[in-house]
């Protein structure tokens, strides 16, 4: 069988635009004389529409679009992800489904069986699970159709499974001669390699070929890497779609091709590509043409500026230098070197005059109290005021520059440096920011070496260094990784790293700064546990270790 995999970048809620993409892909498949054309999970409305699913008008538009697509079909099959309603006396009656159309109508529907309910996934909130898994005979093949999570429960690969049911095994046991999986699987570093290994084991064990199609692009904080995969019945990866781009590829199950072994690049390359894709898509889908960054002379804002240049082009990136009396000479000169390297526009707007005036106005209300963190935060908030004003006036998309280490322990100022539409590197620890910057400089200097070499500082008081308030980043990031991503508790972290007093302090900072993260810009997700929708803790709580 010849299958066309259409790896598209849908826009959530743009049912008409997504329908056009599906129609164009189907017509291309007919022209290429394929048997079947397949599209990703919820391709018709974008993944995930969240509470839009609750709107009857939204679901009605989806149903209408599905019927229109079905009416366009001829003998060539078309599979796309959609929302289907089938009401019974009990249950929600709304399904995340794969719809198979040919000969001008919907011929078969397979609902999603395994509804993920962890991290960024909350499908149990919206959908009913399939009650059965059936194969469908088409053009001499018995199609076993599944949706994303349905294929992530193979007993031959996973030592511990999340679900009792195995939909794909049910399809194989029912005689499936060809597996189809339509997916919207968010990217995190290592996920593509894991995906390839799992699907390889599954197809080799069950001796059935597989066409796996995934969407690409980004939806707010979630990045989808594409990289659709086709395996033969021996578990060999034979075709793979483009990474972070729309693609169209044909998989002929009778064709013999060389094995594809390299599916994921090094950490630095993957992260850069993912963040550029995420930033670009957020801007494109939100209507922004230009980016704005507050450039401090530090490593974080330098990396965000580089990513913005890759996403927007250097003609569409503008940076602002906002020195105070505490800003070092190097902060300005290093920033100017970066501006020159990236060939971007800039301006310098000092905050000192406004800072002095605000202190003067507030002095009576401060009742003679000595300066403290209040004055430090004032400086950050004046910078936030400047940046938001420029964003409003010129319709710039303001990018925040905080990293994961800072966001974890609250080393950031609400309504100051946290202002912005999207947190570009908030899923990279500080040590990883340095790692990526050094990678960028492997052939020539892009990030000025002085920025990489100097000790990080917020420069909000005389001779300030980050390590005045925080443990060294090498230690801090190890603690945070174990706590946030490996789910280790204090005794396990102390056993491995020692420094109980520091570990206890760091974990307390993480817990008590939940209120800041709840008000933070969405963070582009490149790990399996990012701040945001996938990590939910109460703000007001008295949990004590």
State the catalytic residues: 41, 112, 148
- Distance CA(519)–CA(416), nearest Å, equals 12
Q: Which tokens sit at 120?
A: 């960024």
E-only strand ranges, 17-148:
36-38, 77-85, 94-102, 105-111, 136-138, 141-147
CB environment 230-266: b (16+ within 10 A), e (fewer): bbbbebbbbbbbebbebbbbbbebeeeeeeeeebbee
Q: Which helix (H) or strand (E) holds 67?
A: helix 56-72
- Distance CA(232)–CA(239), nearest Å, equals 10
Q: Which of 7, 20, 15 is nearest to 49 (CA)?
A: 15
Q: Which of 537, 485, 534 is nearest to 516 (CA)?
A: 537
**Concatenated DSSP letters of 268-336:** HHHHHHHHHHHHHHHHHHHT--EEEEE--SSHHHHHHHHHHHHHH-GGGEEEEE---TT--HHHHHHHH
What does residue 174 show for φ and ψ, rounded to 5 degrees?
-85, 5
Measured over all CA atoms, what is the biggest interatomic distance in the chain, rounded to whole angstroms?
A: 86
State yes or no: cis peptide before 48, omega within 30 of 0.
yes
Q: Which helix (H) or strand (E) holds 249?
A: strand 247-252
- Distance CA(402)–CA(398), nearest Å, equals 13
Strand ranges of the sheet holding 94-102, from the earlier edge strand across to the other edge: 105-111, 94-102, 77-85, 36-38, 2-7, 247-252
- Distance CA(339)–CA(346), nearest Å, equals 7
Q: Which of 252, 192, 235 is nearest to 216 (CA)?
A: 192
**Concatenated DSSP letters of 479-500:** HHIIIIIS---HHHHHHHH--H
Q: How many CB atoms lie within 10 A of CB 363?
A: 11
- Rg of the Cα trace of the chain? 26
CA 28 to chain centre: 30
């Amino acid at each position: 069988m010849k299958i066309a995999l259409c790896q598209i970048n849908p826009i959530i809620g743009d049912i008409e635009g997504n329908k056009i993409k599906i129609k164009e892909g189907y017509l291309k498949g007919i022209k290429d004389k394929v048997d079947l054309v397949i599209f990703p999970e919820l391709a018709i409305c974008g993944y995930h529409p969240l509470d839009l699913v609750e709107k009857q008008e939204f679901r009605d538009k989806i149903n209408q679009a599905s019927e229109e697509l079905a009416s366009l079909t001829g003998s060539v099959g078309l599979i796309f992800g959609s929302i289907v309603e089938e009401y019974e006396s009990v249950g929600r009656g709304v399904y995340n489904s794969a719809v198979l159309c040919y000969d001008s109508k919907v011929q078969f529907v397979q609902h999603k069986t395994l509804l993920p309910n962890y991290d960024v996934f909350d499908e149990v909130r919206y959908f009913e699970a399939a009650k059965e898994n059936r194969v469908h005979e088409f053009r001499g093949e018995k199609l076993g159709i599944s949706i994303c999570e349905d294929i992530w429960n193979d007993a031959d690969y996973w030592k511990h499974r999340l679900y009792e049911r195995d939909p794909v095994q049910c399809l194989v046991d029912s005689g499936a001669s060809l597996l189809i999986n339509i997916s919207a699987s968010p990217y995190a570093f290592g996920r593509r390699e894991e995906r390839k290994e799992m699907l390889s084991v599954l197809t080799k064990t069950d001796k059935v070929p597989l066409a796996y199609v995934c969407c690409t692009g980004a939806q707010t904080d979630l990045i989808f890497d594409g990289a659709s995969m086709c395996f033969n019945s021996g578990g060999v990866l034979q075709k793979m779609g483009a990474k972070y781009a729309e693609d169209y590829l044909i998989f002929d199950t009778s064709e013999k091709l060389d094995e594809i072994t390299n599916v994921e690049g090094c950490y630095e390359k993957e992260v850069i590509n993912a963040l550029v894709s995420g930033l670009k898509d957020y801007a494109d889908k939100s209507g922004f043409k230009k980016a704005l960054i507050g450039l401090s002379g530090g490593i974080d804002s330098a990396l965000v500026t580089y990513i913005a240049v890759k996403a927007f082009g250097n003609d569409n990136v503008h940076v602002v230098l906002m020195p105070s009396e505490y800003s070092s000479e190097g902060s300005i000169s290093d920033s100017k070197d970066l501006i020159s390297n990236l060939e971007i526009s800039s301006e310098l707007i000092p905050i000192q005059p406004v800072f002095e005036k605000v202190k003067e106005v507030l002095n009576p209300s401060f009742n003679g109290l000595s300066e403290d963190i209040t004055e430090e935060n004032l400086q950050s908030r004046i910078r936030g005021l400047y940046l938001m004003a420029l964003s409003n006036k010129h319709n710039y998309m303001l990018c925040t520059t905080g990293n994961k280490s800072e966001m974890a322990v609250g080393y950031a100022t609400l309504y100051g440096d946290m202002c912005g539409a999207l947190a570009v590197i908030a899923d990279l620890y500080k040590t990883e920011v340095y790692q990526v910057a050094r990678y960028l400089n492997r052939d020539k200097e892009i990030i000025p070496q002085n920025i990489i070499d100097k000790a990080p500082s917020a420069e909000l008081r005389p001779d300030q260094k980050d390590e005045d308030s925080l443990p060294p980043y090498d230690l801090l990031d190890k603690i945070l990784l174990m706590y946030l991503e490996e789910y280790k508790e204090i005794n396990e972290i102390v056993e491995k790293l020692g420094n109980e007093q520091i570990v206890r302090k760091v974990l307390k900072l993480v817990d008590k700064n939940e209120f800041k993260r709840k008000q933070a810009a969405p963070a582009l997700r490149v790990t399996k546990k990012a701040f945001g929708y996938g990590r939910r803790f109460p703000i007001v709580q008295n949990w004590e270790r």
